[in-house]
């Protein structure tokens, strides 16, 4: 429950505005190049909330799935 509550709060807060945060304050020190800053902000936001971010959650999900497939009556987590 802690995981789902934390992810829900993060998705509602950071996913819609993270690109704007990086657009206003680029962490790499890019200056006076709006096109480069825009591309950086969008790509960095997609890195966090896109497929690469969610791919990390496949590992524990796979472990839980294997545990449930091997012993569906008595899951041992």
Q: Is residue 66, in this structure, part of any structural domain at all?
A: yes
**How many structural domains compose the chain?**
1
The string of pLDDT tens digits covering residues 40-56 is 888 888 888 888 777 87
Q: Is residue 8, in this structure, part of any structural domain at all?
A: yes
Supply the range of the domain harboring residue 66.
2-70
pTM: 0.58
| Residue 4 contacts residue 10 (beta carbons within 8 Å) | no
Q: Is residue 17, in this structure, part of any structural domain at all?
A: yes
What averages of pLDDT result for each successive group of 10 residues across the chain (77 residues)? 70 84 82 86 84 81 88 77
- DSSP summary character for residue 23: H
Rounded (10°) angle between helices 34-49 and 2-24: 170
- Distance from C-alpha of 4 to C-alpha of 16, rounded to nearest angstrom: 18
Q: Is residue 77, in this structure, part of any structural domain at all?
A: no
Q: Is residue 11, in this structure, part of any structural domain at all?
A: yes
Q: Is residue 44, in this structure, part of any structural domain at all?
A: yes
């Amino acid at each position: 429950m802690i995981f789902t509550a934390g992810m829900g709060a993060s998705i509602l807060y950071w996913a819609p505005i993270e690109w704007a945060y990086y657009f206003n304050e680029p962490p790499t020190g890019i200056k006076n190049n709006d096109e480069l800053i825009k591309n950086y902000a969008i790509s960095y936001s997609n890195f966090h909330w896109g497929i690469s971010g969610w791919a990390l959650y496949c590992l524990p999900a796979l472990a839980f799935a294997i545990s449930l497939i091997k012993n569906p009556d008595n899951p041992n987590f």
